[in-house]
Structures are given as C-alpha cells and as structure tokens.
Structure 1
Amino acid sequence: MFKKKNLIGKLWLKYRDYHKYKQYKWELKNYTEQEALNFFMGDERLDTQEKIVEVAKKEGLLNIIHSGNAGDVIYALPTIKKIAEVTGVPVFLYLRLNQPLPDPIFSNKPHSMGAVMIGNGTATKLITLLKTQSYLSDVRVYENQKIHIDLDFFRSKTIPLTNSNIARWCGYVTGVTPELWRPWLFVEPDTTFNDKIVLARSERYRNSTIDYSFLKNYDNVVFLGIPAEYEDMKKHIPGLKLHDTSSFLEMAQIIAGCRFFIGNQSFPYSLAEALKCPRILEGYYHVPHVIPEGENAHDFYFQNHLESLVKRLNQAGQPKN
C-alpha cells in the first residue's frame, strides 16, 4: 500500500536513490489523483451503467443536470441518449444557469456566450432545440429539483479536458459509453440551403496557418455566427453572406440541410457533429478535444487539405446533369 512521506523522508530518498525517488513521485501523483477521484465521485454517485439502471428502475425516471456551455451540452447528448435507451425510463434534463465561465484553455479570446456558461437567453434557445429530441422527456431550467446524475463532474479535474474527446467526457463520469458514430440530434433539414456551403468560425480555437480567402471563388458560401465573427471573415471573403438565425433550432435545421459545413471548435460545429451532416472541422493544435466521428466526417490541419476537401465536397453535392 502506498504511504506518503514527509519532507525529510522525500529529501532523504532523493539523496539516497534518485531512481526510487522518481518512482515515488509517480506513485504519489497516481495516489493524489485517485484521492481526488474518490472525493468527487464517491460510492453513491451513479458512475456505472449498472448503478444507473438500478436507480432508474427504482425511481421510474432520471433527472440529469448540466451547467454548460451550450456546446458542452450538445456533446453530452449522446451519453444522455444512451442512458435513455438502456434504462427505458423518462429522462429529464435540467440546465443550471449563470455558472461562472472557467478560464479559457489556450485561448485569449472571449467566449461568444459571455461571462457565464449558460445564461437565460442561451438557455431559452437551447431548450427550444432540445425539447424536439424524442429521448428527452423534457428540458427545464434547474430550480432545486432532485438530481440523479450531475454531468458537471467532468470538470472535477479528473479527466484530461485538453486532449480527450469532448463527446466522451460525460460517458467517463457516468460509465455509459456513447455511440458517437451515430447521429444524436434530429431536426427537419432546411432544404433551401441544400446548395449552400455553411461556414462558422469563432474567434477562439483558430488554426493560425489557415487562410479562408480561397472561398471567395465559391458563390454559395453562407456564414452563421455573431456579427463580429462575420465581419472578421468578410475581410478574407468579400462576398460572404451572413444568415442571421433567430434560434438554435433554426441553426441546426440550416446545418442539417446544407451541402456541407465548415467550422472550427464552436457551437455550430457541435450541431454539425451531432447531426452527422457532411462536415469539415478546422483542427486546433493546442486543444484537439473535438474529434469528428462517423459518416461524412472530415478534419484538417493544413491549407491544401482544406481546399481539396471543399472542392471535392462541393462537386459531390452538385446535381448531376
């Protein structure tokens, strides 16, 4: 059994046997992480599929909570969907509002959603979208309801958030494996966009080596996003058109109906990934935690690769004579 040493013991070991000292440091790190895990998870936490099924049978429903961001909630859905499938009980999702936004990971740009993870305005848009999903019995703002599964435990610093798949985080804390190769968001596609390339690029998580100015040669590119993001991209693509969406549901319908989608790690891309529409992800070197999976998935780190993908997907989507 591992036993922690006091300061004198550590210094003595380091002096006497540096190899054993390094081994001790490694064991100490594992011990500390396990202590943190035990503290955050606890014996009563529903951290396996078997525990969740047992409680679901007893309670007849499951209440799940998440604090956001909006994209994080979208990436939690495949785990929630799987929980609904394996338990067969009504699943209610609650959004905990106005939690402070954590410090950004490798980004000095402000989050487009503001200083909190989910505020009232974002929650309203998100709830409207999520209420359309058949595996969710309802989606509500949290008001001290009894909660069975708190998905915020993925932020307990027991998961490497900078280099693991964001869509698996909630699977790790629940012990339920999501089926990421399948769609987990379902909307009616807006077919008026079926000849459009939809582009979204937030100011965060940008690959600085990529130049989108080649898209000026395409007359079917539409931008989704906030005005500041659009104005920045218009500098490189002068003829770029902005489509101002009124809701997240409308945004999802547009992405579902487009010829293909291009985006970096952002909320619009989370919708594209959930829908499994033809999509291209701009890879971000420092925090590669968005991993395209399943049908129609593409990602890139280099300019020529991007241009090749755009040309190929645009040609593939054109009607045949």
Structure 2
Amino acid sequence: MEKLKALVKDVMRNRIISKGEDFFAQRLPDIDAKSMLNPVIEGDEVHFKHSGHIGDIIYAIPAMKALAKGRKINLYMHLNQVGVYSSKMKHPNGAAKLTARSVQLMTPLLQHQPQFNKVEEFTNQTIHYDLDLIHSYPLDTKMGSITHWYFWTFGITGDTWNPWLQVTPNNDYNNAIVVLRSQRYRTPGIDYSFLKRYPRVVFIGLPVEYEDMKQAVPQLERAESANFLEMARIIAGSRLFIGNQSFAYSLAEALKVKRLLEIYPVCPHVIADGANGYGTLYQPQFEKIVADLMQ
C-alpha cells in the first residue's frame, strides 16, 4: 500500500511539472527582442516606464541602474492601471496599482537619488525600457524575487547585495524597533505581541494598520511621514526594522538596514539579500531573531 501511495504521489508530481512546463511554453510572448533588449539610446539619459506597485518600483531600481550603465535615469509612472487582488487582500490604492498620490509620495525619494533625473507621470513620452514587460512573460509571480524578474526579462544582472537607495538616517529612531505590517501578506501563526518586551516600538503604516497592531503592542508609537523620503529616513535610522511583504520592507531592503522580513508562504516573492537581512515564517524563530538582533 505504501509503495502504491508513493507511486501515485510521484505520478501526480510529474503531471504538475508537465502542466507547468506546457503553461510556460505556450505563453512565451511574441516580442521584438532586439528593440526590447538593445534599444537605440542617444545621449546620457535612459527613459523607463513602470505601471506596477510602488514596492515593485523600488525592486526594479537595480535593473534600471544596470540598464542605464551610468547614465541618468528618467522614470515615467503609468497611473491607474488595474491590479488583480485576492478578495482577502486589501490594497490602500483600491483597484489601481499606481495613483497620482503614489507619484507625489515617491518623487522626493527618487529625486534624492544621484542617478535619477526625472520622476514623472507617464504621458506617452518616448521610452527605452518598458519595465511592465515582466508581465508579458509566463513568470510565476507568486514566488522568487521581484528584483530578479527584471533581470530575467532584460537579460542582465545587477547588484542586490549593497544598498541601492541613499538617504540620511533620522537619528530620532536609533533606539527603536520600527515596524510596518500591512493588511496584505500576513503569515498565519505570526504574533507580534512579544514586542511588548521591548521599550520602544514605532509603527510607520496607515492608521488602520496602527490601531490593529496596537492591540498586540499597547505601548506602540506611530510616526507619520509626509512622503517616502521621510519614511526611508526613519527606517534608515532605526535600530531594527520589521515588516511583512509591504512597501516599507522594500525600502529597508534597498537601504540594507538591519531588517527582518515576515515571509508570506503563499506568495514568497521577496528575499532578503546581503548583510543584516533575515526572514521568518515561524513564531519561535521570529522571537529568537529579534532577541539576537536587539542584544
């Protein structure tokens, strides 16, 4: 009986693999690879378009830098493109992936970066690289690394080990654990209430997320940010950042601060690369990592 069960399991696994391979092969796009991979670029500026979530834009920066090859980056954000979400997932932008408010919040952070020149709404400007092409390929976007999706699509590699954002740390948070836990990507079984043991815990998310977290951590403070540059400065100045697969974690990853990622097992598409990066799926390990990092 056990041999039969093992045989059935092996057959089913092979069927799943075959279906996955067929899915991939049948959905390879018909794209002009030459113009996509090697566009004609004149001058010292490279133009990019992106319509994805704000976190995806942060994760695309290593690819933008690799493709720009030292030239200035102009980023045009395509607004109000519709995202597809699970009914259990609540996104702050509603159905839209990027809004005018997103551009307003993001612009100070990106224009603070030495290589960025323009950060604007996309209004049919001429572009060299359409970063949305990652969605034209049959990638399983529920897993892997968002950053590497851009590498695979454009046939490049980039530096994900070192910081790719630069900000001046806000030293008012040097003694604080800074936290953001969005309403999406919450791992079953993970409980933040043990953070009550630590003297200063600061939340940087939305008011509704803060009120939810405050039930578990009564002494929780909330720090508001006028834009994402200010948020990044708080994260850069923190003693430790903890977050799930949210925008704030993308900032922590880009800054390479001491950081702990709550990994969502259903959709593990964010990876902590390089020094100071930790991930957790399980409560005992979660508490151990925090204790070790706060020594």
The TM-score, its normalising length taken from structure 2, stands at 0.89
* Matched letter for residue 48 of structure 2: I
Aligned to 1:235: 215
Q: Give the Cα–Cα distance (whole angstroms) in 1 for the partners of residues 227 and 98 of structure 2.
A: 15
Q: Give the Cα–Cα distance (whole angstroms) in 1 for the partners of residues 29 and 283 of structure 2.
A: 45
Of residues 150, 160, 179, the one that matches 1:199 is 179
Secondary structure of residue in 1 paired with 2:104: helix
Aligned to 1:260: 240
Q: CA deviation at 1:289?
A: 0.5
1:221-255 deviation per Cα after TM superposition (whole angstroms, max 9, x unaligned): 00110011111111111111111211111000000
Secondary structure of residue in 2 paired with 1:309: helix
The TM-score, its normalising length taken from structure 1, stands at 0.82
Secondary structure of residue in 2 paired with 1:253: helix
Structure 2 runs not aligned, ≥5 long: 1-10
Aligned to 1:3: none
Q: Give the Cα–Cα distance (whole angstroms) in 2 for the partners of residues 231 and 32 of structure 1.
A: 43
1:143 matches 2:123: yes
Q: CA deviation at 1:61?
A: 2.9
Q: CA deviation at 1:118?
A: 0.7
Q: Give the Cα–Cα distance (whole angstroms) in 2 for the partners of residues 155 and 168 of structure 1.
A: 13
1:100 matches 2:82: yes
Bigger Rg over Cα: 1
Moved more, 301-310 or 252-261: 301-310
Secondary structure of residue in 1 paired with 2:294: helix
Secondary structure of residue in 2 paired with 1:270: helix
Of residues 30, 48, 59, the one that matches 1:75 is 59
Secondary structure of residue in 2 paired with 1:285: coil
1:23-74 deviation per Cα after TM superposition (whole angstroms, max 9, x unaligned): 9x94x975764453242x3234423xxx25xx23x45432110012000101
Sort the Cα spacing of 1:32 and 1:239 in 2 relative to 1 into closer, same or farther, 3 A.
Answer: closer
1:46 matches 2:33: no
1:36 matches 2:16: no
Q: Count matched residues.
A: 282
Secondary structure of residue in 1 paired with 2:179: strand
Sort the Cα spacing of 1:174 and 1:157 in 2 relative to 1 into closer, same or farther, 3 A.
Answer: closer
* Matched letter for residue 52 of structure 2: G
Sort the Cα spacing of 1:198 and 1:35 in 2 relative to 1 into closer, same or farther, 3 A.
Answer: same
Secondary structure of residue in 2 paired with 1:139: strand
Structure 1 runs not aligned, ≥5 long: 1-18, 316-321
Of residues 197, 207, 212, the one that matches 1:217 is 197
Secondary structure of residue in 2 paired with 1:46: helix
Q: Give the Cα–Cα distance (whole angstroms) in 1 for the partners of residues 263 and 113 of structure 2.
A: 29
Q: Give the Cα–Cα distance (whole angstroms) in 1 for the partners of residues 194 and 115 of structure 2.
A: 41
What do you get for the CA RMSD once the two structures are aligned? 2.1
Sort the Cα spacing of 1:33 and 1:211 in 2 relative to 1 into closer, same or farther, 3 A.
Answer: closer
